[in-house]
């Protein structure tokens, strides 16, 4: 789900999911009478005999890859299977790297928080998200505040709306006793955030070196003028 204007917008899923590479059947290994064929650009060709699908794959210099074996009939797609395997492995490697680097930060709010404190805590949330980390936001209810969960939802919705450019809502507000929690996931990958931070630090170092060189040049010119006089 994604926070967009309102609070939660469900994202449409693809009609089929990519299978595990080790289980994928291709070309002559697809032993069914017919398949629902998808073209290389994602276009729907329709239900065709598997022999015809194999012929089309051969004419296009592509592979026939079964992408939804449990469908009736199975869904097969024309694609470059070698390229598909390479890209799938790259995606899996990037996902593992991103999961390993991403941390879950936690920040707590009071239900009756004033605007100044809200702004300070929102700044912390934005810093965590900008660094590519998830944020678990917790509201702690006191006494009779537990009977006002809608106020907690409004506060979390306000936060989600104000950091909407940096995050999506991964876990909707949920009350558990005296606490209500929501998890925000960064829209920017951890690796991308680290690269941006690295470039920003390098630019700042270059700027400092430039200023030092400029000061040294001015001092040298001043000293030369003094000696001349």
Q: What pLDDT, in 10s, does the model give residues 97-107?
A: 666 566 789 99
Judged by average pLDDT, the poorest of 71-80, 196-205, 206-215, 219-228 is: 219-228
Give the torsion through C-alpha atoms of 57, 58, 61, 65, to 10 deg. Answer: 40
What domains are there in the chain, each with its CATH number? 27-89 (3.10.20.80), 104-186 (3.30.110.10)
Give the DSSP H or E segment for 49: strand 44-49
SS3 of 97, please?
helix
Instruction: Name the band, by pLDDT with cuts 50, 70 and 90, for residue 176.
Output: confident
As a whole number, the mean pLDDT across the chain is 82
pLDDT at 228: 64
What pLDDT shows up at residue 121? 95
Q: What percent of the chain has pLDDT over 70?
A: 79
- Choice between 211 and 80, residue whose per-residue pLDDT is larger: 80
Mean pLDDT of 42-51: 92
44-49 and 104-110 beta bridge pairing: unpaired
Closest to 168 measured CA to CA, from 184, 150, 190: 184
């Amino acid at each position: 789900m994604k926070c967009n204007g309102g609070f939660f917008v469900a994202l449409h899923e693809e009609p089929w999911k990519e299978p595990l590479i080790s289980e994928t059947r291709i070309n002559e290994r697809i032993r069914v009478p017919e398949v629902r064929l998808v073209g290389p650009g994602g276009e729907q060709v329709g239900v065709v005999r598997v022999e015809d699908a194999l012929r089309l794959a051969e004419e296009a210099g592509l592979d026939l890859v079964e992408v939804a074996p449990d469908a009736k009939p199975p869904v097969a797609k024309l694609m470059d299977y070698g390229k598909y395997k390479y890209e799938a492995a790259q995606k899996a490697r990037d996902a593992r790297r991103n999961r390993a680097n991403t941390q879950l930060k936690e920040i707590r709010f009071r239900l009756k928080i004033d605007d100044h404190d809200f702004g300070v805590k929102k700044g912390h949330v934005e810093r965590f998200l900008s660094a590519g980390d998830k944020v678990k936001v917790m509201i702690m209810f006191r006494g009779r505040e537990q009977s006002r969960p809608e106020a907690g939802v409004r506060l979390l919705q306000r936060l989600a709306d104000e950091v909407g450019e940096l995050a999506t809502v991964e876990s909707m507000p949920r009350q558990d006793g005296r606490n209500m929690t929501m998890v925000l996931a960064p829209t920017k990958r951890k690796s991308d955030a680290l690269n941006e931070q690295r470039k920003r630090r390098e630019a700042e170092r270059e700027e400092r070196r430039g200023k030092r060189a400029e000061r040294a040049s001015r001092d040298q010119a001043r000293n030369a003028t003094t000696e001349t006089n």
